[in-house]
């Protein structure tokens, strides 16, 4: 099976460390992906780019991810992720997975948790755990809020997001963590 036809991995092979792409990276995005530990994950967002520019950047990111053994998810729909040869997709809302691609979803509250479970996600990115530059002034869940939501989703992999770094992640009892600023230089 070619890399373009990556089967949906079992839950044990899902990365524990995830980089969320963001325009705040500017020229440091590709070096940041190279600095990630081998077999980490990348969720490619960059929603604000024109389609052609976004696809070109995605291809550069994909090439580095393949070299480093990283899993690459495209923020958006499953069809586009498949066409762009991503390993999966990151989407909120009522999109139920139709194929074997990895599916992640953002979870901020009980409603989104129920929706993620209903849609058959592999990973839930629960946020914001701590204060974050991405959402200044947002109410944070804290460790307790993260754990309360995680306990309501037995069997699903939980990724902590929002103000995260390796030190904070070590204190949490979830599958892994994701960040933007922790990976920027």
For 2, which DSSP code?
A: -
- The model's pTM is 0.91
Comparing CA positions, the residue from 185, 167, 178, 181 lying closest to residue 73 is: 178
Confidence bin at 1 (pLDDT 50/70/90)? very low
Could you tell me what percent of the chain has a pLDDT over 70? 92
Q: What backbone torsions phi and psi does residue 9 show, to the nearest 5 degrees? A: -75, 160
């Amino acid at each position: 099976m070619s890399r373009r036809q990556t089967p949906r991995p079992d839950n044990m092979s899902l990365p524990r460390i995830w980089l969320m792409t963001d325009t705040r990276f500017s020229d440091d995005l590709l070096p940041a992906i190279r600095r990630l530990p081998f077999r980490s994950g990348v969720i490619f967002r960059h929603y604000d780019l024109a389609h052609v520019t976004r696809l070109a950047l995605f291809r550069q990111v994909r090439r580095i991810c393949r070299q480093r053994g990283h899993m690459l998810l495209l923020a958006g729909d499953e069809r586009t992720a498949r066409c762009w040869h991503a390993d999966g997709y990151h989407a909120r809302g009522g999109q139920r997975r139709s194929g074997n691609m990895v599916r992640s979803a953002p979870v901020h509250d009980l409603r989104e948790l129920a929706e993620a479970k209903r849609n058959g996600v592999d990973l839930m990115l629960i946020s914001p755990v701590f204060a974050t530059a991405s959402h200044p002034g947002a109410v944070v869940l804290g460790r307790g809020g993260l754990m309360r939501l995680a306990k309501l989703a037995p069997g699903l992999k939980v990724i902590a997001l929002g103000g995260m770094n390796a030190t904070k992640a070590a204190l949490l009892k979830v599958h892994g963590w994701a960040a933007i600023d922790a990976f920027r230089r």
